[in-house]
């Protein structure tokens, strides 16, 4: 959980005046990356679609902690 919370900002991208930029709003949820299966933080606007269930989130956090130790 600490790894996810350290990012604190949405990892999605938005288009501003035709230019892709990071969303950078405060993260309030976690989504699962459809390509690699890993969780990443998102803001309230981007908190839709493929969400991470709490058991999957906890498993990912504990697996990350074990791998990084």
Give dist(CA 2, CA 22) in Å, integer: 21
pLDDT of 19 above 90? yes
DSSP letters spanning 22-64: E--PBP-EEEE-TTT--EEEE-TTT--SSBPPHHHHHHHHHHH
Overall domain count for the chain: 1
What is the predicted pLDDT for the residue at 4? 46
- Percent of the chain exceeding pLDDT 90 equals 12
Q: pTM (2 decimals)? A: 0.58
Q: Which domain holds residue 6?
A: 2-68
């Amino acid at each position: 959980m600490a790894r996810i919370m350290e990012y604190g900002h949405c990892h999605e991208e938005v288009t501003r005046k035709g230019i892709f930029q990071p969303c950078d709003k405060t993260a309030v949820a976690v989504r699962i990356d459809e390509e690699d299966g890993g969780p990443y933080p998102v803001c309230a606007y981007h908190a839709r679609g493929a969400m991470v269930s709490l058991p999957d989130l906890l498993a990912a956090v504990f697996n990350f902690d074990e791998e990084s130790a």
